[in-house]
Amino acid sequence: MNESTAYTPPAVWSWNKESGGRFANINRPIAGSTHDKDLPVGRHPLQLYSLGTPNGVKVTVMLEELLAAGHAGAEYDAWLVRINEGDQFGSGFVAANPNSKIPALVDRSAAAPVRVFESGAILLYLADKFGAFVPTDPATRAECLSWLFWQMGSAPFLGGGFGHFYAYAPSKIEYAIDRYAMEVKRQLDVLDRRLAESPFLAGDDYSIADMAVWPWYGTLVKGQLYEAGEFLQVHQYTNVLRWTDQIAKRPAVRRGRMVNRTWGQPDSQLHERHDATDFDTRAQDKLDAKAAQ
Ligand SMILES: N[C@@H](CCC(=O)N[C@@H](CS)C(=O)NCC(=O)O)C(=O)O
């Protein structure tokens, strides 16, 4: 009998703070703030509080795409939220997102600030606000929103399910890894079949649906998520690969994926973004070179 089948749940669950796992130090069964801390506010209409994980990248790509398309009202400050250090439990962040997860957006362009949380809601809010990257024709819009919400429902099985048990859990549990590997391969096949018949998820045009799906499934299919490329045989999903490579070439995507990123090559990291010139002057390789002078 292995460890997972030997466990008999007690009548009442209790919080075992020592349960281990990569994120054990920040996981807890209660919501709300743990400390008082206001959020910083910069000079732009949009204030983003985030980190360069796939959920964060969706939004920074959208903001960079909006700016590239000429929507000056999409100028933004991107502040770093270090989730491993518990920044998401500060009182200011919790006021912006009661769910204590990045990304959170505050739109200060009108008299009363508007808070938006959940990456899918942020994408849709920005798309509607600027009338961009969401189709207006009802049928294509329905297709776009279907794929957007597909991502929001599916990625937790990839990240919280497969990624957690394959890469982060303190022990490898065959049942859990099998269960989620099967689901993730099914999801990749769903995408592959859609992208065999259509250039982008909503149809002929790139949209918020692609921006939502690409940071998760594009990274996965390139073998860059959870070191699971071989395990999941990701090379089989040729249509997803074609679409992934095409999106990766977009200049706005190249910029967006750098924002709030604190790992990887120094020239791929822009910890905070407060100005368009920051990509040229404040990427980590530039800051490191200045510090070494
Ligand atoms: N459904 C949410 C998920 C957000 C999410 O899971 N964010 C993670 C980072 S990718 C986070 O902030 N985790 C911190 C925590 O769980 O305490 C969204 O799409 O915005």
Q: What's the pLDDT tens digit per position in 154-201?
A: 999 999 999 999 999 999 999 999 999 999 999 999 999 999 999 999
Protein residue closest via CA to atom 19 of ligand 1: 119
pLDDT above 70 as % of the chain: 97
**Helical H runs in 29-84?**
54-68
More confident residue, 17 or 58: 58
Backbone angles phi, psi at 105, to 5 degrees: -120, 140
Q: Look at residue 132 and tell me whether its pLDDT is greater than 50.
A: yes
Mean pLDDT of 142-163: 98
Beta bridge partners of 142: none
DSSP string, 145-157: HHHHHHHHHHHHI
Where does the pLDDT of residue 2 fall: very low under 50, low under 70, confident under 90, or very high at 90 and above?
low
Q: What's the pLDDT tens digit per position in 49-104?
A: 999 999 999 999 999 999 999 999 999 999 999 999 999 999 999 999 999 999 99
Of 103, 107, 60, 106, nearest in space to 83 by CA: 103
Best residue among 22, 34, 53, 55 to mutate for probing ligand 1, ranked by most atoms within 8 Å of CB: 55
Identity of residue 125:
Y
Rounded distance from Cα 161 to ligand 1 centre (Å)? 14
Helix (H, G, I), strand (E, B) or coil at 204: coil
Confidence (pLDDT) at 5: 62
pTM for the whole structure: 0.96
Helix (H, G, I), strand (E, B) or coil at 171: coil
Task: From the CA of 102, give the closest atom in ligand 1.
Answer: 12
Where does the pLDDT of residue 1 fall: very low under 50, low under 70, confident under 90, or very high at 90 and above?
very low
**To the nearest whole number, what is the mean pLDDT of the chain?**
95
118 touches ligand 1 (CB under 6 Å) = yes
Protein residue closest via CA to atom 15 of ligand 1: 101
Q: Look at residue 3 and tell me whether its pLDDT is greater than 60.
A: no
